[in-house]
Amino acid sequence: MKRPRKLGRGVALVGVGMSKFGMFRDRDSKDLFAEAFRNMIASVDKGADPQDIDALYVGNFSNDFFIHQAHWGPIVSDLIGHVPKPATRTEGACASSALALREGIFAIASGFYDMVLVGGVEEMSKRSTEEVAEGLALATAPYEGRAAFTFPGVFGAVATAYFDRYGASREHLMNVTIKSHNNAALNPRAQIKATIRSMMESKRRRASEKGLPEPTWQDEKEFLRDQDANPVVAWPMHLFDCCPISDGASCALLVGEELARRFTDAPLYVVGMGQGSGSGFHAADDLTTFQATKYAAEEAYSMSGLKPEDVQFSEVHDCFSIAELIHMEDLGFFKPGQAYKAVEEGATRRDGSKPINTSGGLKCKGHPVGATGVAQLMEVWEQLRGEAGERQLPIKGLRIGAAHNLGGTGGTCTFTIFERR
């Protein structure tokens, strides 16, 4: 990076919407995107006319594989009545819609367009778990797939390297999981809207209804250590270390900065953004870091003039519990090898010094991969506008929030910082 990045024209976020995230037999990508689109339009305080949208960018990783349909730009364009205006699909594995966001920002910053719709969609649940593992593994680096790595497997391996290097253990990962569930229980949009404790209670109740012996877990960690309740997926990643399989869509409306107040008195401004690329995780000099995240963060921080400590809260790409630790270190929120201790001390809870994934994260909110990058903006939007309800951060003068998105085994990473002025 030779000089700090800047936008030729400021860009503002004036609306965000998500579909429900979940595993739906009776819903498809189009109807999910339509839901996200309607919710996005409804989120624009002073209203927006969809006819004014100049262009559309939609992220989708692999509906080609999951439902055997490619070329999602025009499909979404047709769906929302946008034809014949331009529609472009972006692909960056699980960061596909963060790339759509960036393309939308560039398109407005260049002066070419004034209003752009960005979003993402993925429809994963109509395949078996094994097929989903195979589909997602298309986004590993070539030799990782050959060695039969799955995504949980890659992050399981990263965890063994992190444990070995820093002395952390599965117990520390459990702290991440418990925190994500505590946040998700307060998020009406979460796919898994339950604390670990409430899940333990319902399992006890079901056992007693069936006349089976009631499990005797003393606390959340004892539940998470129970191989029946929390089976191994790719050791040391267990079920509760992994995000669920999800269908869903997301979208957001971007306009030129000088137009923002026509749409809302509380727009969010893009103040920092970065993107990096990485070799396969195995080829990195250090197996406990993603160089693409570090590069993206460096771009975003230098563009904004902000430091990691200035970011008051962030969504980070917690596809797996270990990933949340690694990203927080790569983004500079904690020093290398310190994130697991900070989580243990409560620093990343809503009442901590650096709240992380207040939405419940990918772990609980759900992770329809192509939709995730833009769906992360939902939490930044609600928190910075004071609309997060029971999850609202108790920080005075909440002004700066960010979102980090990772694709593949660290092949594509983005970091975007927003400001409420």
Partner 1 sequence: MEKKPFNDISYEAFLREEKLMGSKCRSCGELFVPPRPICVKCGASEMEWVEMKGVGKLSAFTCIAVGPPFMKQEGYTRDHPYCTGVIQLDEGPRVTARIEDVDTKKPEEIKVGAAMKVKYLHRGEGDRGATFLAFKPV
Q: Which of 110, 111, 160, 351 binds partner 1 (CB under 8 A)?
A: 160
Burial environment of residue 13 by CB neighbours within 10 A (0 to 12, 13 to 18, 19 or more): buried
Q: Which of 52, 71, 78, 143 binds partner 1 (CB under 8 A)?
A: 143
Q: Which is nearer to partner 1, 32 or 233 (CB)?
A: 233
Asked if residue 152 binds partner 1 (CB under 8 A), the reply is yes
**CA–CA dist 179, 360 (Å, integer):** 8
Shortest Å distance, C-beta 5 to partner 1: 24
Q: Name the one range near partner 1 by CB under 8 A: 97-105, 155-163, 366-374, 385-393.
A: 155-163
**Angle, alpha carbons 264-267-270 (nearest 5°):** 155
Asked if residue 207 binds partner 1 (CB under 8 A), the reply is no
Shortest Å distance, C-beta 235 to partner 1: 4
Q: Which is nearer to partner 1, 1 or 83 (CB)?
A: 1
Q: Which amino acid is at 160?
A: T
Answer yes or no: 68 catalytic.
no
Q: Which of 78, 232, 335, 346 binds partner 1 (CB under 8 A)?
A: 232
Spot the catalytic one: 172, 181, 238, 367: 367
Lay out the sheet containing 268-277: strands in order across: 87-90, 55-59, 115-123, 247-256, 11-18, 268-277, 412-420, 400-407, 313-315
Tokens of 25: 């037999």
Q: Name the one range near partner 1 by CB under 8 A: 179-187, 261-269, 280-288, 390-398.
A: 280-288
Q: Which is nearer to partner 1, 111 or 231 (CB)?
A: 231
Answer yes or no: 367 catalytic.
yes
**CA–CA dist 9, 30 (Å, integer):** 32
Asked if residue 112 binds partner 1 (CB under 8 A), the reply is no
**Angle, alpha carbons 231-160-353 (nearest 5°):** 90
- Look at residues 94, 186, 172, 150 and name the one whose alpha carbon lies nearest to residue 382: 186
Asked if residue 228 binds partner 1 (CB under 8 A), the reply is no
Asked if residue 231 binds partner 1 (CB under 8 A), the reply is yes
Asked if residue 153 binds partner 1 (CB under 8 A), the reply is yes
How many chain residues touch partner 1 (CB under 8 A)? 36
Asked if residue 292 binds partner 1 (CB under 8 A), the reply is no
Q: Name the one range near partner 1 by CB under 8 A: 40-48, 134-142, 198-206, 351-359.
A: 134-142
Shortest Å distance, C-beta 322 to partner 1: 11
Asked if residue 95 binds partner 1 (CB under 8 A), the reply is no
- Look at residues 180, 229, 171 and name the one whose alpha carbon lies nearest to residue 200: 229
Asked if residue 164 binds partner 1 (CB under 8 A), the reply is yes
Asked if residue 331 binds partner 1 (CB under 8 A), the reply is no
In sequence order, the 6+-apart residues with CB closer than 8 A to the CB of 218 are: none
**Prior bond of 84 cis (ω within 30°):** yes
Asked if residue 146 binds partner 1 (CB under 8 A), the reply is yes
Shortest Å distance, C-beta 416 to partner 1: 28
Q: Which is nearer to partner 1, 133 or 296 (CB)?
A: 133
- Look at residues 268, 300, 272, 252 and name the one whose alpha carbon lies nearest to residue 386: 268
Shortest Å distance, C-beta 147 to partner 1: 4
Q: Which is nearer to partner 1, 83 or 232 (CB)?
A: 232
- Look at residues 203, 274, 216 and name the one whose alpha carbon lies nearest to residue 5: 274
Residue 229 has a CB neighbour count (10 Å cut-off) of 18
**Prior bond of 236 cis (ω within 30°):** yes
Give the torsion sign (CA, 253, 258, 259, 264).
Answer: positive
Binding residues vs partner 1 (CB under 8 A): 129-131, 133-134, 137, 142-144, 146-150, 152-154, 156-161, 163-164, 231-237, 280, 282-283, 287
Question: Could you list the active site residues?
Answer: 94, 367
